[in-house]
Amino acid sequence: MARTMDPLGKKIFKGVLVDELVGIFVAYFLFKKMNTSQDFRQTMSKKFPFLLEVYYKSIEHSGMYGIREQDQEKWLNSKT
């Protein structure tokens, strides 16, 4: 005996699925942009520092070190 979802259940399921897909694409876009643009990382450090920290932790976890230090050095030198 196969049960089918009621129309409201289908709408909710589709909505959750669409939200998940949008979230994945946004996360991918932000990571790619932060990974390729030091200026964008500087903007993120001013507006959303917690997201930049997640970026730094994820690349350090993958074995890439020194990005944070390079950014801080460039930003410090640009202020003077």
- 8-27 pLDDT, tens digit per residue, is 889 999 999 999 999 999 99
Q: Is residue 1 part of a domain?
A: no
Q: Is residue 9 part of a domain?
A: no
* pLDDT recorded at residue 79: 76
Number of domains in the chain: 1
pTM listed for this prediction: 0.77
Q: Is residue 10 part of a domain?
A: no
What is the C-alpha separation between 40 and 16, in angstroms, rounded? 30
Q: Which domain holds residue 41?
A: 18-78
Residue 6 has pLDDT above 90, yes or no: no
**Segment 59-76 mean pLDDT:** 93
Instruction: Tell me phi and psi for residue 71, to 5 degrees.
Output: -60, -50
Q: Is residue 8 part of a domain?
A: no
Residue 2 has pLDDT above 90, yes or no: no
Contacts of 60 (CB under 8 A, 6+ apart): 68
- Chain mean position to CA 42: 15
Q: Is residue 25 part of a domain?
A: yes
